[in-house]
């Protein structure tokens, strides 16, 4: 569905070659964006100020800066295990990328900046469903606090730069994403791809059991990656305020039910056991998704079971190429 918003606009999508990024690029093209630039890490290390400055020199040639749109998806990110092993890197890399990129965008009079935050920014014991107004009522869950707080600083920056400079930036909070082309590397993947890979490999080996982390009691909400991309592009087109906005499905499921669903869908016949010496992570996670609908008319469309089947089928078809 094309819109006139993207006419004569140049779009920088950081992280555009990644999981979410590939779907955002697809949505942008569907909406009529023709001039899209994806900065690759080999050419622009966005943790370095000089590389960010060079990115703007390179992409502002021949255009009015007001016609440049930045969608900042790039992040150093991983699951509970990766967060525990690399808290300093996750804090530094994400903070430096976000703060300097937005600062240089303002300095260069860029027309629109869409910052992508994370549900990890919410306090550990936020009442469910998470409302955007509750972002500051406590400290995030410890294992992913450095990452969550680093990303959350873009919200503070967005609000401060709008107040002082009138800079047009927005801050979106997607819940956990899943879908085809996700990261299935067991060292750094999130819960859905990690479980899919674990169960399918156990089934092929003929294992009698699989062991999952924690006790299965925490709940999570998941957003299909194509829905997330649609939400990000819709917000970029239609939302011009610095109040944070959740992007979620409104569907909350326990890790136990999720694991059992994946076991059923993949046909694993062994026993499921829980390793309670491993951390659960945040106890509950589910978003209030009303603001996105009110502010820019967006809501998720994908049924969770259908999305899960799509993800499993993609993994089975592509696993030969996955390390």
**CATH of residue 83:** 3.40.50.720
Is 268 part of a structural domain of the chain? no
Identify whether 195 is part of a domain.
no
User: What share of the chain has pLDDT > 90, as a percent?
Assistant: 88
pLDDT value of residue 187? 78
Contact 83, 32 (CB under 8 A): no
- List active site positions: 147
Give the phi and the psi of residue 223 in degrees, each rounded to 5. Answer: -120, 125
Please, what sign has the CA dihedral across residues 237, 16, 141, 97?
Answer: negative
Structure tokens, 315: 């993994």
Per-residue pLDDT tens for 21-33?
999 999 999 999 9
**pLDDT at res. 282:** 75
Give the pLDDT confidence of 43-77 residue by residue, as tens digits: 999 999 999 999 999 999 999 999 999 999 999 87
In a domain? residue 128: yes
CB within 8 Å of 34: residues ≥ 6 apart: 6
Give one DSSP letter per residue of 110-140, joined into a string: -SEEEEE--GGGSBTTPPSSBPGGGTTSSPB
The span from the CA of 105 to the CA of 251, in Å, is: 35
Number of domains in the chain: 1
Peptide bond into 129 cis (omega under 30): yes
Task: Indicate whether 266 belongs to any domain.
Answer: no
Which of 13-17, 118-122, 194-198, 278-282 is predicted least confidently?
278-282
Q: Is residue 186 part of a domain?
A: no
According to DSSP, the β-strands at 245-247 and 10-14 are unpaired
In tens, the pLDDT along 120-173 reads 999 999 999 999 999 999 999 998 899 999 999 999 999 999 999 999 999 999
Instruction: Find, among 120, 115, 46, 117, the residue nearest to 79 by Cα.
Output: 120
Question: Angle at CA 91, nearest 5°, toward 74 and 49?
Answer: 60
User: How is 20-68 classified by DSSP, letter by letter?
Assistant: HHHHHHHHHHHTT--EEE---TTT--TTSHHHHHHHHHHHSTTS-GGGE
CA atoms within a 13 Å half-sphere pointing along the CA-CB vector of 182? 33
Q: CA separation (Å) from 268 to 202, 205, 313, 316?
A: 8, 11, 15, 14
- Owning domain of residue 170: 6-178+222-251+284-301
Question: Residue 319 pLDDT > 90, yes or no?
Answer: yes
Would you state the pLDDT for residue 261?
A: 97
List, for residues 225-259, the tens digit of each pLDDT value. 999 999 999 999 999 999 999 999 999 999 999 99
| Domain-embedded: residue 112 | yes
Q: Residue 316 domain-assigned?
A: no
pLDDT of residue 59: 98
Mean pLDDT of 14-22: 97
- The average pLDDT across 100-111 equals 98
Q: What is the pLDDT of residue 3?
A: 82
pTM: 0.94
pLDDT interval class at 280 (50, 70, 90): confident
Report whether 247 contacts 174 (CB < 8 A): yes
Determine what percent of the chain falls in helix, strand and coil, rounding each to the nearest 5: 45, 15, 35
Phi, psi of 167, deg, nearest 5: -75, 130
Q: What pLDDT is recorded for position 40? A: 96
Report, as an integer, the average pLDDT of 17-24: 97
Is the Cβ–Cβ distance between 278 and 213 less than 8 Å?
Answer: yes
Does residue 322 form part of some domain? no
Residue 228 to residue 184: CA distance in whole angstroms: 19
């Amino acid at each position: 569905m094309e819109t006139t918003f993207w006419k004569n606009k140049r779009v920088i999508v950081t992280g555009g070659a990644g999981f979410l990024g590939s779907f955002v690029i697809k949505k942008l093209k569907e909406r009529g964006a023709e001039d899209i630039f994806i900065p690759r890490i080999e050419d622009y290390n966005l943790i370095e100020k000089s590389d960010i400055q060079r990115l703007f020199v390179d992409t502002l040639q021949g255009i009015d800066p007001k016609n440049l749109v930045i969608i900042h998806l790039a992040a150093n990110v991983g699951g509970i295990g990766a967060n525990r092993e690399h808290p300093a890197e996750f804090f530094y890399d994400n903070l430096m990328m976000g703060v300097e990129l937005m600062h240089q965008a303002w300095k260069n009079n860029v027309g629109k900046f869409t910052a992508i935050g994370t549900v990890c920014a919410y306090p550990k014991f936020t009442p469910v469903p998470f409302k955007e107004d509750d972002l500051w009522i406590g400290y995030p869950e410890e294992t992913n606090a450095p990452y969550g707080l680093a990303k959350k600083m873009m919200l503070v920056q967005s609000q401060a730069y709008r107040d002082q400079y009138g800079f047009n930036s927005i801050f979106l909070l997607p819940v956990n994403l899943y879908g085809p082309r996700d990261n299935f590397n067991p060292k750094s993947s999130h819960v859905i791809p990690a479980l899919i890979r674990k169960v399918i490999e156990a089934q092929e080996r003929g294992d009698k059991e699989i062991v999952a982390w924690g006790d299965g009691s925490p709940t999570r909400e998941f957003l299909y990656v194509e829905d997330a991309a649609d939400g990000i592009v819709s917000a970029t087109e239609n939302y011009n305020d610095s109040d944070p906005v959740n992007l979620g499905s409104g569907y909350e499921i326990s890790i136990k039910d999720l694991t059992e669903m994946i076991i059923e869908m993949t046909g694993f016949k062994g026993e499921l056991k829980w390793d309670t010496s491993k951390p659960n992570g945040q106890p509950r996670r589910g978003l209030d998704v009303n603001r996105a609908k009110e502010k820019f008319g967006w809501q998720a469309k994908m049924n969770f079971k259908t999305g899960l089947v799509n993800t499993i089928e993609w993994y089975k078809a592509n696993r030969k190429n996955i390390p």
